[in-house]
Structure 1
Amino acid sequence: MLRTQIMPSEGRIQMAVHGDLDVIGAGELRSCICDILRTYRPGQVDIDLSGVDFIDCSGCRTLLWADTRVRGRGGTMAVVRPSTLVLRLLRLLEFDRELSIRTSQDMDLTTPRREVNPGPN
Structure 2
Amino acid sequence: VRGMMMTVCDIAAITMPWPIQKQVAELVAGEFFEQGDIEKQELKITPIDMMNREKKDKLPLMQVGFIDSICLPVYEAFADLTPDLQPLLDGVKENRLQWQKLADASNRT
| Structure that is richer in helix per residue | 2
Shorter-chain TM-score tier: 0.3 to 0.5
- State the TM-score, normalized to the length of structure 2: 0.34
Higher relative contact order (CA 8 A, sep 6+): 2
